[in-house]
Structure 1
Amino acid sequence: MSKNARLSLIIVAVVAVVIAGFVFFSRNNNTTAAPQSAGGKVTVVEYLDLECPSCRAAHPGVEKLKTEYGDRVTFDVRHFPIPSHRNAELAAVAVEAAGAQGKRDEMFKLMFSAQQEWGGQQTSQRTVFAGFAQQLGLDGAAFEAALEDPALRERVLQQRAEGSKAGVQGTPTFFINGTKFTGAPTYDALKSAIDRELSS
């Protein structure tokens, strides 16, 4: 092999390594906490705490936006239970336990509609959440078993860890096509931000 041929091969190899490294670090820096849109659609990621009054206040607007945009916008709700909220983590696990029986969204709604009753309590609200499961017609034994499932708790804690890595410091925090939304997350403000992404 000639000297020039060997040099060309070395250059190609170095370029390949550099490109691979760029792809690797780009992938790692763009965490799953704030995914980009796919296929021209818009992705809205919300990190919330079920015991947070601000999350409860934002919830009706988010639900309205989901209805209005349909499949043009993907809404991804993730858990970020704040440690100082005594029952936030258990509430998140309860939502996922309901999700195992196809009632995740319904449990979200119940949690928020009754938040003023169970939120802010310093004792476990597990019995209250079991009552919610009963209201939704869930299998009570399966729901109770799911509350004890370490995998569900790990899912909740993993989402919180991803949120922290993405810069979430309080709730609710929204990302629209990977960009952190700033300002009060009102219906109008979120709609304007989504519309900008849809028209770009």
Structure 2
Amino acid sequence: MRRTLIAVALLGWTAAGAHAQPLPGVDTKGLVADEIGALSALMKEGACPCNPRLSLFECIEKKSCPQATELAAFGADRFRDGDGIEQVREAVVRKYLDEHVTFTFELGDTPSKGAKDGRIQIVEFADFECPHCALMRPVLEEVVKAYPKDVTVYFKQFPLQHHMFADLAARATLAAHRQGRFWPMHDLIFTNQGKLSAEKFVEFATELGLNVEKFKADLEDPALAKQIQRDRQEAIDAQLTGTPTLYINGKLYTEDKSPEAIKAYVQKAIGKLEAKK
């Protein structure tokens, strides 16, 4: 199966020096052979938005998809602006993701906070022993606080296998969710990230005033493991390779993960929605 441009972005673009096949309809004046070769190679890796059975390159050759030609022209323009191969790769992939790739997730039973059915949906995949995931917690809180009527944050589980307590932590939060206390458990676990143990999760349940016996029973419920596995598969299907990863209205978020950058992205997304009214 053809790799997506997302995979190319994550694996690195090694096409420099590739055969400089022409890109019909794309102005490559001023580009050297390595640049044309790299751009044409990248176009062979992505699915054409007009016909996913074809590559971008094939659609460009057939002159059958203006969006594909526009993407290649964008890359050529970036080369003429003086960007290097890596910079052009990142810019082209980002444009491709933003304009042509949207992911969908099962959200019906997914813990959420913020606006009810907000027009901006942020889906976070995280691991409870991941240090960067712990840092994302206050960032998303700030985003929700800034857009209380617009933003809904959904938390999906992606426990990493090399983290000893990540899976149990995921089950603990979902068990707490059954008693309406997902977010307090979520916060306690991240706050005590370096002190986790099987006993600690029971202590947290007691501290939160949960029915501890029900909590313990729910921890072993196969339905929770099934939900976690579903979340993991959704993440894999959505090209996730690390945690935390955010998707905003179905788009893989590739910008800086600072609160300022995310809020700016959200504001831009709101502007696009307003413009469609």
Structure 1 and Structure 2 fold alike (TM over 0.5) = yes
Structure-1 residue corresponding to 2:121: 43
RMSD: 1.9
Residue number in structure 1 paired with 2:235? 163
In structure 2, the CA distance between the partners of 1:111 and 1:175, relative to structure 1 (3 Å rule), is same
Report what 1:103 is aligned to. 181
Output the CA distance in 2 between the equivalents of 1:97 and 1:184: 32
> What's the counterpart of residue 212 of structure 2?
140
1:40 CA displacement = 8.2
Question: Counterpart of 1:68?
Answer: 146
Matched, 1:195 2:267: yes
Q: Contact 1:33/1:45 (CA < 8 Å) preserved in 2?
A: no
Kindly tell me: are residues 30 and 170 of structure 1, through their superposed partners in 2, closer, same or farther at Cα, counting changes over 3 Å? closer
Task: Give 1:75 shift.
Answer: 1.1
Match of 1:31 in 2: 104
Q: Residues 40, 147 of structure 1: CA spacing in aligned structure 2 closer, same or farther, 3 A cutoff?
A: closer
Give the partner amino acid of 2:164: R
User: Given residue 165 of structure 2, which amino acid in structure 1 is its aligned partner?
Assistant: N
**Displacement after TM superposition at 1:175 (Å):** 0.6
* Structure 2: gaps of 5 or more residues: 1-50, 52-101, 108-116, 273-277
Amino acid at match of 1:48: A
Using the alignment, how far apart are the partners of 1:40 and 1:169 within structure 2? Answer: 27
Bigger shift: residues 156-165 or 183-192: 183-192
Aligned counterparts of 1:171 and 1:94: Cα–Cα separation in 2: 19
Are positions 1:81 and 2:153 aligned together? no
**3-state SS in 1 of match to 2:267:** helix
Note the alpha carbon deviations across 1:63-88, whole angstroms, 9 max, x for none.
Answer: 12122211311211111111111111
- Offset at 1:130? 0.6
What corresponds to 1:8 in structure 2?
none
- Does 1:92 pair with 2:170? yes
Deviations 1:1-42 (A, max 9, x none): xxxxxxxxxxxxxxxxxxxxx9xxxxxx843269xxxx9811
1:111 positional shift: 0.7
Q: Distance in 2 between matches of 1:45 and 1:63?
A: 13
Deviation sequence 1:164-187 (CA, Å, 0-9, x none): 100111000001111111143111
User: Do the aligned partners of 1:33 and 1:166 also contact (CA within 8 Å) in 2?
Assistant: no
Give the share of equivalent positions with the same residue, in percent.
Answer: 35
- Distance (Å, rounded) in 1 between the aligned partners of 2:137 and 2:256: 13
User: After TM superposition, where is structure 1 displaced by more than 2 Å over at least 4 residues in a row?
Assistant: none
CA contact (8 A) 1:51 1:87 kept: yes
Where does structure 1 lack aligned partners over 5 or more consecutive residues?
Answer: 1-21, 23-28, 119-124
2:227 is aligned with 1:115 = no
In the alignment, is the contact (CA less than 8 A) between 1:50 and 1:112 conserved in 2?
Answer: yes
2: CA distance, partners of 1:142 / 1:46: 27
CA distance in 2, matches of 1:77, 1:55: 11
SS in 2 for 1:70: coil
Q: Which amino acid aligns with 1:44?
A: I
**Contact 2:104 / 2:250 at 8 angstroms: preserved in 1?**
no
Per-residue Cα deviation, 1:97-153 (whole angstroms, up to 9, x for no partner): 0000110011010011111222xxxxxx21111111011010110000000100011
| Structure with the bigger percentage of helix | 1
CA contact (8 A) 2:103 2:251 kept: no
